[in-house]
Amino acid sequence: MITVRGKTIEPLFTAEQIAERNEALAAQIAAGPSEDLLVISVLKGSFIFAADLIRALHHAGLAPEVEFITLSSYGTGTVSKGVRIIRDIDSDVKGRNVLLIDDILESGRTLLFAKELMYERGAANVSLAVLLDKRVKRQEVLEADYVGFECPDYFVVGYGMDVAYAFRELPFVGVVTGDA
Ligand code: IMP
Ligand code: MG
């Protein structure tokens, strides 16, 4: 347990566990449709996971191009409603193998939107890599191709994930358990 910003945070997945999973995921990704791969990091939450995963992809022998898309679920608080593009990619995805990277697959709305968008734009293949799969919250029929960890139904922070912009810097994934 650690204290940050007056809150107690219980680690759920450690930095070491995450690093080990990233190397394993990269090996799986390299064995899938990965020729001339275009990786798209779904911001903001995936920025740390994507940064580590693309370096693991290098270890796995891949040389991907890397892009960013900023998506936002509108609606209030922690409930996702619609999805909107805040900042789009610049690349042409036509005929490309695309890997979308996100922090967490929950309702599935964000990644279903992004996956359909890339197919509409003519991508040859779109795969999904997520650090965490919170499948009890799924609202759409969608599975990730590459999953770091199954996630229990807690609101998690750290390793890029925030609550009200805080806690993204934590090197592990944790749960806010209370006031210190
Ligand atoms: P979905 O569209 O419901 O699958 O929402 C997934 C998005 O919601 C993720 O990309 C995260 O940015 C955010 N999210 C969902 N659950 C959590 C959580 O437990 N902590 C932080 N962000 C979350
Ligand atoms: Mg996100």
122 C-alpha vs ligand 2 centroid, how far in Å?
23
Is 109 domain-assigned? Answer: yes
Rounded mean pLDDT, 79-92: 87
Question: Is 52 close to ligand 1, i.e. is its CB under 6 Å away?
Answer: no
Identify which of 103, 138, 168, 169 to mutate to test ligand 1's pocket (most ligand atoms within 8 A of the CB): 103
Provide the pLDDT for residue 74.
74
Is 29 domain-assigned? Answer: no
Residue 117: pLDDT above 60? yes
Residue 73: pLDDT above 90? no
Q: What is the mean pLDDT of the chain?
A: 95
The beta strands (E) that lie in the chain are given as 2-4, 7-13, 38-43, 65-73, 83-87, 97-105, 125-133, 146-150, 156-157, 173-179
Rounded mean pLDDT, 26-34: 98
Please state, for a pLDDT cut of 70, what percent of the chain lies above it.
96
pLDDT band at 128 (very low <50, low <70, confident <90, very high): very high
Other beta carbons within 10 Å of 58 = 11
Rounded mean pLDDT, 105-114: 96
Sign of CA dihedral 114, 116, 118, 124: positive
Is 15 domain-assigned? Answer: no
Residue 79: pLDDT above 60? no
Is 172 domain-assigned? Answer: yes
Residue with the smallest CA separation from ligand 1 atom 11 is: 104
Expressed as residue numbers, the domain containing 152 is: 35-73+83-179
Please state, for a pLDDT cut of 90, what percent of the chain lies above it.
94
For the chain, the domain total comes to 1
Is 11 domain-assigned? Answer: no
Provide the pLDDT for residue 24.
98
pLDDT tens-place string over residues 139-176: 999 999 999 999 999 999 999 999 999 999 999 999 99
Separation CA 39–CA 126 (nearest Å): 10
Residue with the smallest CA separation from ligand 1 atom 20 is: 156
Is 160 domain-assigned? Answer: yes
Residue 80: pLDDT above 80? no
Residue with the smallest CA separation from ligand 1 atom 9 is: 104
CA 112 distance to own-chain centroid: 13
Question: Is 73 close to ligand 1, i.e. is its CB under 6 Å away?
Answer: yes
Is 10 domain-assigned? Answer: no
- The token pair at 43 is 């911001």
Is 6 domain-assigned? Answer: no
Instruction: Kindly report the CATH number assigned to the domain that includes residue 157.
Output: 3.40.50.2020
Is residue 20 within 8 A of residue 176, CB to CB? The reply is: no
162 C-alpha vs ligand 1 centroid, how far in Å?
9
Question: Is 41 close to ligand 1, i.e. is its CB under 6 Å away?
Answer: no
31 C-alpha vs ligand 2 centroid, how far in Å?
26
